[in-house]
Amino acid sequence: MTGKAPLYNRLALIGVGLIGSSIARASRLQNVAGSIVATARSPATRRRIAELGLADQVVETNAAAVAGADLVIVSIPVGACGEVAREIGPYLAPGATVSDVGSVKGAVVRDMAPHLPANAHFVPAHPVAGTEFSGPDAGFAELFVNRWCILTPPDGTDAAATEKLATFWRALGANVETMTPDHHDLVLAITSHLPHLIAYTIVGTAAELGEVTRSEVLQFSAGGFRDFTRIAASDPTMWRDVFLANKDAVLEMLGRFNEDISALTRAIRNGDGEKLFEHFTHTRAIRKGIVQIGQDSPAPDFGRPHPDLPHTPLPKPYAGE
């Protein structure tokens, strides 16, 4: 985008954690916004945003942030989106696009839409990207490269506004897909929300084992458990709100998961090796498919770096007695 006019004249970021700060960094790099104004609930966070130079202007209130902005992105836990929409609604510029980054869309549409004026364009979004870290220091411009951003415009949303936001996300490196809010929530319930719930549960179970000490759990964390702990380190406020906001889809997928667990339990109890082999073969093929479409690294050990083998002097040749 360098050398071309920015897509948006003024980008307002409400909430500047991992996702918000990554949007700010990538937007600067790609010149998709003429200027960036940001705000956050905490004065300490606002100071840090200014120190990092993530925005041209850091303001104290949500209303001040959206004044004159033609793109507003709300990057906060989904449970707080409705109240923020109520705050900013009267101050939005005519024709402004309002979006978010939450991983639940049905609840966001229900909570935010009633507070937004008819002359604003509401295009909810979910960049399916992240790490286990949070805060303005955690972001980086490349976070969205080759990741999906799902747009879920409600019925009647201006098509040009939706396509312009899609162009914005593509400029940040993302692949863009559009679907209804309810379908999004069903898809993400199985691909993201249920895995997080399982990770939190497994790590919690390990922490409560009486027969295995905490030090042993930490010391002998193999790849599988180690990856669960990474997922379970995600922001607790965000995930509390996700499960409450998407409870119907999560409960449906959790019910299906429990049925599958029961089937595998019976196979193990009955020594049904054929059933286990068939199931593991099927799931292995899914993993290969994820790698083939470029959504993960094909490198051994999931691309983790490995240290060099320590140099140990070879023993002297045995010379006999």
Range of weakest confidence among 56-60, 216-220, 230-234: 216-220
Indicate if the pLDDT at residue 318 is higher than 70: no
Beta strands in the chain (DSSP E): 8-14, 33-39, 57-58, 71-74, 97-100, 121-122, 125-128, 148-151, 175-178
Complete domains list, the chain, with CATH: 8-179 (3.40.50.720), 184-297 (1.10.3660.10)
| pLDDT-above-90 percentage for the chain | 64
C-alpha–C-alpha distance, residues 233 and 246, integer Å: 20
> What integer pLDDT is reported at residue 320 of this predicted model?
55
Residue pair 167/27 in contact (Cβ under 8 Å)? The answer is no
For residue 1, the model assigns a pLDDT of 43
Q: Can you tell me whether residue 95 is helix, strand or coil?
A: coil
Q: So what's the pLDDT on residue 300?
A: 65
C-alpha neighbours within 13 Å on the C-beta side of residue 276 = 10
Residue 242 has pLDDT above 60, yes or no: yes
* Segment 83-137, tens digit of pLDDT: 999 999 999 999 999 999 999 999 999 999 999 999 999 999 999 998 878 899 9
| Mean predicted confidence (pLDDT) in 222-244 | 80
Structure tokens given for 3: 């050398």
Angle of CA points 22, 145, 283, to nearest 5°: 115
Tell the burial category of 264 from Cβ atoms under 10 Å away from its Cβ (0-12, 13-18, 19+). middle
pLDDT tens digits, one per residue of 282-317 = 888 877 887 777 766 677 666 667 667 566 565 666
Confidence band for 273, pLDDT divided at 50, 70 and 90: very high
Lowest mean pLDDT, pick from 113-117, 162-166, 184-188, 238-242: 238-242
Q: For residue 285, what are the CA distances in angstroms to 50, 110, 146, 279, 319?
A: 47, 38, 22, 10, 54
pTM greater than 0.85: no
